[in-house]
């Protein structure tokens, strides 16, 4: 039987990556973060990375033509494994394209998990975020700091501040989210797939709420 099909929906800084890493381990899901995949393409200097970089650094969206091929290839590789989409879809066009891809693969969506966080909290979280350029693990200098100052617990690489986490770019990302991505909440509400989570409070508290929706792993 095919595994769960999940979308994590939410603004920049709402905790998609943080929660996805925990859910993917517990439910044996393929974690597909389009942001992480794009950053990897940029780091490797691929043609896709070179095209995407300018949009990302400015806080805008990377064109669908680049995103959709990348996602389709990863979903095909995943086979029957459950999937957890983080940062995709981000527009109504991407949501419609996803429906077509899943139909073609004989797969379906079970839940669109919406992490709802007020804007002032998003800005505060992103200012103190640090990320591992090697494995993508995410930290927060106060809430979830690394064990050794400035180094990733998982792979030992030096942590960085993402280029798009400067205040001006964060403001632009929030604007783009409100205009292009937030309408997906209504889209999935209409399809009865939306699960609304008030994602304030500790990381583990939010994880418990998500697991209550998904049920016990393996059940
Ligand atoms: P992407 O990487 O997807 O960025 P994003 O959506 O802006 O989201 P973030 O990764 O910034 O936040 P998050 O929700 O994952 O939060 P996190 O868990 O890190 O996309 C980057 C760019 O790529 C886009 O701007 C665009 O250019 C391009 N792109 C990507 N996908 C695309 C697509 N589909 N189409 C077009 N373009 C695309 O948490 C944030 C911080 O808060 C961390 O420090 C964390 O430790 C902390 N934190 C987490 N939970 C809590 C909590 N409960 N309490 C306190 N702190 C917390
Ligand atoms: Mg993320």
User: pLDDT tens, 63-98?
Assistant: 999 999 999 999 999 888 999 999 999 999 999 999
Q: Return the ligand 1 atom nearest residue 71 CA.
A: 34
- With beta carbons less than 8 A apart as the criterion, state whether 184 and 96 touch: no
- With beta carbons less than 8 A apart as the criterion, state whether 34 and 68 touch: no
Residue with tokens 């939010």, as numbered in its chain? 206
- pLDDT for 183 equals 98
Q: Return the ligand 1 atom nearest residue 55 CA.
A: 27
Tell me the CA–centroid distance for residue 173 and ligand 1, in Å: 10
Residues in CB range of 65: below 8 A, 6 or more apart: none
Q: Return the ligand 1 atom nearest residue 129 CA.
A: 44
- Ligand 1 pocket, residue 127 CB under 6 Å: no
pLDDT tops 70 at residue 210? yes
Mean pLDDT for 35-57 is 96
- pLDDT for 158 equals 97
- Separation of alpha carbons 29 and 85, rounded Å: 10
**107-143 per-position pLDDT tens digit:** 999 999 999 999 999 999 999 999 998 888 999 999 9
- pLDDT for 184 equals 98
Q: Does domain 5-118+181-214 have CATH number 3.40.50.300?
A: yes
- pLDDT for 34 equals 97
The three state secondary structure string of the chain is CCCCEEEEEECCCCCHHHHHHHHHHHHCEEEEEHHHHHHHHHHHCCHHHHHHHHHHHCCCCCCHHHHHHHHHHHHHHHCCCEEEEECCCCCHHHHHHHHHHHHHHCCCCCEEEEEECCHHHHHHHHHCEEECCCCCCEEECCCECCCCCCECCCCCCECECCHHHCHHHHHHHHHHHHHHHCHHHHHHHHCCCEEEEECCCCHHHHHHHHHHHHCCCCC
Cα angle for residues 63, 89, 164 (degrees, 5° grid)? 60
Question: What positions carry a catalytic annotation?
Answer: 16, 90, 129, 162, 173
- pLDDT for 92 equals 97
- Ligand 1 pocket, residue 136 CB under 6 Å: no
Residue with tokens 């804007």, as numbered in its chain? 119
HSE-up of residue 154 (Cα within 13 Å, Cβ side): 11
**158-193 per-position pLDDT tens digit:** 999 999 999 999 999 999 999 999 999 999 999 999
- Ligand 1 pocket, residue 38 CB under 6 Å: yes
- pLDDT for 219 equals 67
In sequence order, what are the beta bridge partners of 195?
Answer: 113
What residue spans define the domains of the chain? 5-118+181-214
CB atoms within 10 A of CB 87: 22
Q: Please tell me the number of the ligand nearest to residue 90's CA.
A: 1
- Ligand 1 pocket, residue 59 CB under 6 Å: yes
pTM as predicted: 0.96
Tell me the CA–centroid distance for residue 129 and ligand 1, in Å: 10
């Amino acid at each position: 039987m095919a595994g769960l099909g999940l979308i994590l929906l939410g603004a920049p800084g709402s905790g998609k990556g943080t929660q996805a890493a925990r859910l993917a381990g517990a439910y044996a899901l393929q974690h597909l973060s389009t942001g992480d995949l794009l950053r990897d393409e940029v780091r490797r200097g691929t043609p896709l990375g070179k095209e995407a970089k300018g949009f990302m650094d400015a806080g805008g969206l990377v064109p669908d033509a680049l995103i959709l091929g990348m996602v389709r290839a990863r979903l095909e590789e995943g086979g029957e494994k459950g999937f957890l989409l983080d940062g995709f879809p981000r527009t109504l066009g991407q949501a419609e394209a996803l429906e077509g891809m899943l139909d073609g693969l004989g797969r379906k969506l079970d839940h669109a998990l919406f992490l709802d966080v007020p804007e002032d909290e998003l800005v505060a979280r992103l200012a103190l975020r640090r990320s591992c350029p090697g494995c993508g693990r995410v930290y927060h200098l106060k809430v979830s700091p690394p064990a050794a100052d400035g180094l990733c617990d998982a792979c030992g690489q030096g942590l960085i501040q993402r280029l798009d986490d400067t205040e001006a770019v964060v403001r632009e990302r929030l604007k783009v989210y409100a205009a292009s991505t937030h309408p997906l909440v209504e889209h999935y509400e209409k399809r009865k797939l939306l699960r609304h989570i008030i994602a304030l409070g500790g990381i583990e508290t939010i994880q418990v709420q998500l697991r209550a929706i998904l049920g016990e792993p393996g059940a």
